[in-house]
Chain A
Amino acid sequence: MSVSLQGVRRSFGLTRAVEGVDLTVHPGELFAVLGPSGCGKTTLLRLIAGFERPDAGTVEVAGQEMAGPGVFVPPERRRIGMVFQDYALFPHLTVERNVAFGLARRERAQAKASLELVGLQHKAGRYPHELSGGERQRVALARALAPGPAVVLLDEPFSSLDASLRAELRREVELILREAGTTTLLVTHDQEEALSLADRLAVMRDGRLVQVGPPEEVYARPADRWAAQFVGEVNLIRGMARGQAVQTEIGTFDVAGDPPAGTVHLAVRPEQLAIRLDDPGNAEVVEREFRGHDVLYRLMHENGRMVLVQLPSVELFEVGQRVFVRPAPSAVAPVVG
């Protein structure tokens, strides 16, 4: 089922949490809202769930108006499944009773099916405090899915898990959601999470959606400088546009589309640069951050600016070495105003 928001606003006193959001999530889609803390993304989720009323605009779920002028459907009649940041499992109920909470008595069999979907049927009789963090999350997901919701909302679902567990559970949760075939909207501040999970994502800042699109596009063609910096690491480099190319102090980049002539800024990702040992070259390695499969270098360019370069860890450069930095072959950098 689809979710659709039009011109939705919500303020708390003088704070404008959500300011004119238009958004459509398609049926069966896994959609992420990505933004820094305080950008209004949780409020957006609560507006869809019905825990907040919009000051203006309309909220539709599965084609039915849930909130709008003169209309307000309370949360219990919206057919939404919600997974809270802290999971909000009922501490006085067993896992099975938690999952069955939203089911009528005769639908209890559905609770078993839902627990099987998340692979926790053997924990049915346990209480939430007896489970690990990852198990709690899966119970919360099973509970949200059990009543067959029109849409599932996930509020920072991985933030309270250990970093080591996160990637694994992310994949697992994605598989469960895909198998259930449900429409999902997830909010997060973790760009890696949003980029790897979502079919499409929205970047949110100060109550507004800055950009909406598939992860590849949001990463490769950020709407503005802020979005470029928020979604991954980036070098903002000034240059002169000449036709399909932009000349900069680091070299000439190919750009997509027709850039406006004159001075432009490019958002160059660290992996779009290459370096080789060269004395004197045009830069010096000042910092090396080893990340296992790849390495992030901080270089001091001869023009006095810091440049980020990310390379596979097959060849290592040492701090203090002189190098020559240039655009990587086939790098196409976007222009960001």
Chain B
Amino acid sequence: MTGAGARAAAHDGPRASWLAAGAVAAVAALPLVYVLVRAAGAGADTWSGLLDRRIPDLLANTIGLALAVCAGTLLIGTSLAWLVVRTDLPGRRALGVLCALPLAIPPYVGAVAYADVLGPRGALRDLLGVESLPSIFGFFGATLVLVVFTYPYVFLLASAALHNLNPSYEEAARALGRGWVRTLAGTTARLIVPALAGGTLLVGLYVLSDFGAVSLMRFDTFTTVIYAELGGRFDPPGAAALSSVLVVLTLLLLASGLAVRGRGRYEQTGAGFARSSTRELGRGRWAAFAFVAAVLGLALVLPLARLVTWTLDSAAGGSLGDYAGWTWNSLSVSFLAATVATVCALPVAVVMARSRARGGIVVGWLAQAGYALPGVIVALALVAISTRWFDPLYGTLGLLVAAFVIRFLPQAIQAEEAGLQQIGRNLTEAARALGASRASAFRRVVLPLLGPSLAASWAVVFLTAAKELPATLVLRPLGFDTLPVRVWTPARDGLYADAGPAALLLVLISLVPLALLLIRRRGAALSL
């Protein structure tokens, strides 16, 4: 290192956190590097075979699904947010909480309920008394399930933005002679574009990475095909090639989403919680209420009612499952993943928040490679890497936890970096002027102030890890069944009722960290 470089490093952050952050980033980026290198090394035959037959269809399916789901969630999430935050909708406070709750229902759990109720021999057919319904399986079913269970991302970010919007802008538009509809469309909507872009981006990333819901809705996307490759004759270069296309797709989405969000980010003057104008809906109130109730019916009542009736049936029939053991497995693996991710994210967040150097940005991006890595791809890469170089690791709990950490590290980093940004550099400097070493200033000042952010980071990783399906299916140790595994395995074979109790338990577990996050700050911790 040159003199100037050493000086910069000494100033931009403790060297220990640079080393730790570098190590974390290297591990986090490993699957990404593996997939890209392996795909580049795949022969021309492999590529041309894939390009001729599979890739065009998969691209059409995957992109079409992502676009449809993004459009649907944008429409539903934004209109719910506006109704709940800015109108005199009856019961708006309670409805606002309820609208976020579908986040506790993993889409594949929703898919189980939908496949049963709306399926060929389902309750809806009996209710209507018809011979057969149009098939729920395929593009339509996958879109429906994903929209219904991912709109809360858009809803949460949009309602936070509407809530924090300085009402002076809207009042200025009204004072300048704009009607309320034009104000809403022209001023309000423009001001919350960054939030809408952020929420839609989360939805899009989720759709690209989803495996459970699309597989249960029997709709082929990249993830289902890559998973099938892993299960059947394992052809590493071919699987890596398919994965690399999905990774590139994800990166493109990420880049465009961040660009839209960044371009539309306006400087807001003042905070707006003091007063926000409420639109009186008049007779439309009850129509609006009916709309919200319909969404909640689809997203909460229908799936939960089905899960509860299944659970009651199975309890009456003397259920045979080891539910306590599966719940324990789910809790313990999520606990480990949340704890390790929260700790690993810390040095990365420190380097990102405190460093003005380019190195900090690079380390930050690499450590957040998980955003571009769907669970199946992390699983694929870790299987390949461990069987080739670290064989004793394969089939251990450690490898599964590593997959979760790599996959969910970005969420932990975001939560912690946001927390660090709130802690002024002055506070650390004040501590040092009072005789505290760099490490002791961090321990005595930064860590205590970071507490709430660390808790949020832990909760968000726990929540997502508890729901994770594809990496668990591939990497779990022999006989290590978690609740997601026990939902998906029977449901894949059409035995939907058998999935009920595990699915209900999973929803109940997810509610706890979700409630913590929602209470804390209107979903800010879930933002990108």
Contacts and interface: CB of A to CB of B under 8 A. Distances in A.
Interface of A: 49-53, 74-78, 80-82, 84, 86, 88-92, 101-102, 143-144, 147
Contacts of B430: 82, 84, 88-90, 143
Given A74-B437, A75-B433, A147-B435, 4 more contacts: A77-B435, A84-B429, A84-B430, A88-B427
Nearest to B434: A102
A78 B449 CA distance: 26
Given A53-B11, A102-B434, A75 B429 contact: yes
B429 A101 contact: no
B434 A143 contact: yes
B432 interface: yes
A91 B431 CA distance: 12
B269 interface: no
- Among A53, A76, A86: residue with most chain B CB under 10 A: A76
Contacts of A76: 432-437
A84 B426 contact: yes
B493 to A, nearest CB: 54
Nearest to A12: B356
Main secondary structure of the interface of A (DSSP, over half): loop
Contact of A90 (B7, B427, B433): B427
B448 interface: yes
11 contacts: A51-B432, A78-B433, A81-B433, A81-B434, A82-B429, A88-B427, A88-B429, A90-B430, A92-B448, A101-B431, A101-B444
A50 B438 CA distance: 13
Interface of B: 7, 11, 424, 426-427, 429-438, 444-445, 448-449
Report whether over half of chain B's contact residues are helix, strand or loop; otherwise say mixed: helix
A188 to B, nearest CB: 18
Contacts of A52: 11
A92 B423 CA distance: 11
Contacts, number: 62
A143 B426 CA distance: 14
B429 A90 contact: no
Nearest to B451: A92
A147 B429 CA distance: 16
B432 A75 contact: yes
A89 B448 CA distance: 14
Nearest to A53: B7
Nearest to B433: A82
A130 B464 CA distance: 38
Contacts of A90: 427, 430-431, 445, 449
B12 to A, nearest CB: 12
In this complex, the member of B430, B431, B445 whose beta carbon has the largest number of chain A beta carbons within 10 angstroms is B430
A2 to B, nearest CB: 19
Smallest CB-CB A-B distances: 6 pairs: A102-B434, A88-B426, A88-B430, A82-B433, A75-B432, A76-B435
B433 A80 contact: yes
B425 to A, nearest CB: 9
Contact of A92 (B424, B436, B449): B449
Nearest to A155: B426
Contacts of B427: 88, 90
Contacts of A82: 429-430, 433
A55 to B, nearest CB: 9
B453 to A, nearest CB: 13
A74 B436 CA distance: 10
A157 B494 CA distance: 72
Contacts of B424: 86, 88
Nearest to B448: A92
A198 to B, nearest CB: 22
B434 A101 contact: yes
Contacts of B445: 90, 92
A102 B444 CA distance: 11
B213 to A, nearest CB: 43
Contacts of B426: 84, 86, 88
A75 B434 CA distance: 8
B449 A91 contact: yes
A144 B433 CA distance: 8
Contacts of A91: 449
Contacts of A147: 434-435
Contacts of B11: 52-53
Nearest to A104: B435
Nearest to A84: B426
A88 B434 CA distance: 12
A143 B11 CA distance: 25
A92 B436 CA distance: 17
A80 B433 CA distance: 6
Nearest to B436: A76
Contacts of B7: 53
Contacts of A86: 424, 426
A79 to B, nearest CB: 8
